[in-house]
Chain A
Amino acid sequence: MNQKTTEAIKELLYKMADDLLIIGHRNSEWTGLGPILEEDISFSSMAQDKIGQAQALYVLLNDLGEQEPDTVAFMRNANQFHNSQLVELPNGEYDFSLVRHFLFDHADQLRFESVANSNYEPLAKVARKVKGELKYHVFHANTWFVKLGSANEESHNRMQAAFNEAWNYALGMFEPSKNEYLLIAEGIFEGEETLQEKWLANITPFIIKAGISIPSSETWNPVYGGRVGKHTKHLSPLVEEMSEVFRYDPTAEW
């Protein structure tokens, strides 16, 4: 593998891993605070999967010469993260968390399905395992999204408002990456544009079923920047909190 392809793979791994670490962190914030115990447990369970998946990808990065997973996750500053801005936004109420979960997990499922056939075998191997976990995340998201979107007036209005708020950030997940063409050419990853098309096709039936309206396409304005380290004001406090203990004594084993 030449140097440029390796860099492109790292770019891909970083954005995937950082998305998972940050959404996992946000999901875990529901622990103890869910609207019903069962949902508390669900979000906690998904959080564990996400963080575990992030770790698996940081291990691949480590194999490509990056630092240890713990160091990469707990010692970087916010502007060194490559997650989409969607995942760093605060949880808000359960409506926003659920809408984000729906939009993110559909995209992530497709991303992992795509790389499960990647010519980069280490990633394909991880993806084949992760796919099995994501199936349940997507199932959970679909069930709740449809139920709350169509249950009663309040739940519908809340879900629609959250959907509108999340939409442009969700489109931002598909921010094109500089070296993506190399990955496409080498059969490593199919690219953001293709992914977005598939994503729209997958989510639309559930959106219709939930009675939610997608904002009209003239108003679409993807929020880009996350992939190149530009973030909302919400990421810095998250990263500081996440690494507070780890950095308290960096020489220590925890």
Chain B
Amino acid sequence: MYGNAYIDPNDKATAMTAGEDPKKLEEFEARIARGEKIEPMDWMPKEYRKQLVRMIEQHGHSEIIGALPEGTWITRAPGFRRKLALMAKVQDEVGHAQLLYSAAETLGKSREAMINDLITGKSKYSNVFNYPAYTWADACIIAWLIDAGAIINQVANAKGSYGPYCRALDRICTEESFHLKYGHDNVVTLATGTPKQREMVQAALTRWWPPIMHFFGPSDKISNHTEILMRWKVKMATNDDMRQQFLNMYVPKIWDLGLTLPDENLIKNAAGKWEYTEPDWDEFKRVVNGGGPCNAERLAVRRNAEERGRWVREALNTTESKYIVPLA
């Protein structure tokens, strides 16, 4: 997983480059146009740095928050095979957070500052994790379809312009492709299993469909996306394009399993484009802004973990001089 680090760029191009040295800006843009990567010590516009920090950080947060709904199923996974695989998967996700925070640190923001912004609600994470994983099947749907969505997003972003982020994404995508197989195998097992299993996987899919449709972010029609982020290769594909790609790859697979999707209008038209009921973007905004079923709980768990671990971090930061127990 998990990052669908879409950007909702309402900033206007002129405001984004205000005050930058025109010559340096021109060279910077020429480098990107030539397909070169920008490295940490290179010159970059302030806004480029800011947008990347925001995006990479948000992606990192999505990994550790995303570990929560799936993580709760590790202790309940049915059988050795599933238990071992799910543990390895969620461990990967936490490892991704570590990689991503490191990539973001190269732009000048410390991990502590990022985590602090997460737990105080200042920075966001993927909206889908504000929904609960009620059953084992929910965890399976997440592993398959949310990871599938994340791969589409990340494969695109891996071709972006910022070197450290691209390299982190290359590695992340390799691991994600295993998660996808794991998730698919689980869903196939449930969908072709006993009546109880089929019922639970269908219910989970129905529950998760609206968040999945929200996953790539607001429609291009309402998202005022800026050319400049595409030109800078911070954003590599539009939200709607990624959504189309996802539908094209996964709807047929879902239908093949005999599962149904809760959208009567979902159909591939003659031009090869998917038509669907417009997702409820008001609901999306409400959840992004804290009104989802799990926003408060997710942050509370994270805050609590940070609080409980504080003494460990403080102890780690003490110098090598050894604490001696006082004699009296």
User: Which of A's residues lie within 8 Å of B, judged by CB?
Assistant: 25, 28-29, 31-41, 44-45, 47-48, 51-52, 55, 69-70, 73-74, 93-94, 147-148, 150-156, 158, 211, 238, 241-242, 244-246, 248-249, 251-254
Which of the listed residues A37, A93, A244 has the most CB atoms from chain B within 10 Å of its own CB?
A: A37
With A41-B98, A154-B314: A32-B305 Cβ-Cβ less than 8 Å: yes
Within 278-309 of B, Cβ neighbours of A (below 8 Å) are at 301, 305, 308-309
Q: What residues on A are CB-neighbors of B76 within 8 Å?
A: 241-242, 244-245
Q: CA of A52 to CA of B71 in the docked complex: distance in angstroms?
A: 18
B90 and A211 contacting across the interface, CB-CB below 8 Å: no
A253 and B75 contacting across the interface, CB-CB below 8 Å: no
For A48, the closest partner residue in chain B by CB is B87
CB-CB contacts of B75-103 with A at 8 A, as 1s and 0s? 11111101110011011001101100100
B42 to A: closest C-beta gap in Å: 27
For B67, the closest partner residue in chain A by CB is A32
B98 and A32 contacting across the interface, CB-CB below 8 Å: no
User: Which of B's residues lie within 8 Å of A, judged by CB?
Assistant: 64, 67-68, 71, 73-80, 82-84, 87-88, 90-91, 94-95, 97-98, 101, 136, 189, 193-194, 196-197, 301, 305, 308-316, 318, 322-325
Q: CA of A254 to CA of B188 in the docked complex: distance in angstroms?
A: 10
Q: What residues on B are CB-neighbors of A33 within 8 Å?
A: 301, 305, 308
Q: CA of A156 to CA of B318 in the docked complex: distance in angstroms?
A: 12
Q: CA of A253 to CA of B191 in the docked complex: distance in angstroms?
A: 11
Compute the total of residue contacts between A and B using a CB distance below 8 Å.
Answer: 139
A151 and B88 contacting across the interface, CB-CB below 8 Å: no
A41 and B80 contacting across the interface, CB-CB below 8 Å: no
What are 8 A-B pairs at a CB distance below 8 A?
A: A31-B94, A33-B308, A52-B84, A94-B312, A148-B315, A245-B73, A249-B193, A254-B82
With A37-B98, A93-B308: A44-B316 Cβ-Cβ less than 8 Å: no
A39 and B98 contacting across the interface, CB-CB below 8 Å: no
B312 and A36 contacting across the interface, CB-CB below 8 Å: yes
Please pick, from A40, A51, A154, the residue contacting B80 in the complex, using a CB distance under 8 A: A51
For B322, the closest partner residue in chain A by CB is A150
B98 and A38 contacting across the interface, CB-CB below 8 Å: yes
A253 and B94 contacting across the interface, CB-CB below 8 Å: no
B74 and A31 contacting across the interface, CB-CB below 8 Å: yes
A237 to B: closest C-beta gap in Å: 10
With A55-B80, A147-B316: A36-B75 Cβ-Cβ less than 8 Å: no
For B90, the closest partner residue in chain A by CB is A31
With A39-B312, A148-B312, A155-B315: A28-B75 Cβ-Cβ less than 8 Å: yes
B311 and A44 contacting across the interface, CB-CB below 8 Å: no
A32 and B316 contacting across the interface, CB-CB below 8 Å: no
A248 to B: closest C-beta gap in Å: 7
Please pick, from B84, B136, B313, the residue contacting A35 in the complex, using a CB distance under 8 A: B313
B194 and A44 contacting across the interface, CB-CB below 8 Å: no
Supplied contacts A74-B78, A248-B136, 8 more A-B pairs, CB within 8 Å? A31-B91, A35-B313, A37-B94, A37-B95, A37-B101, A47-B87, A51-B83, A154-B315
Please pick, from B88, B136, B308, the residue contacting A94 in the complex, using a CB distance under 8 A: B308
Q: CA of A76 to CA of B311 in the docked complex: distance in angstroms?
A: 38
B186 to A: closest C-beta gap in Å: 8
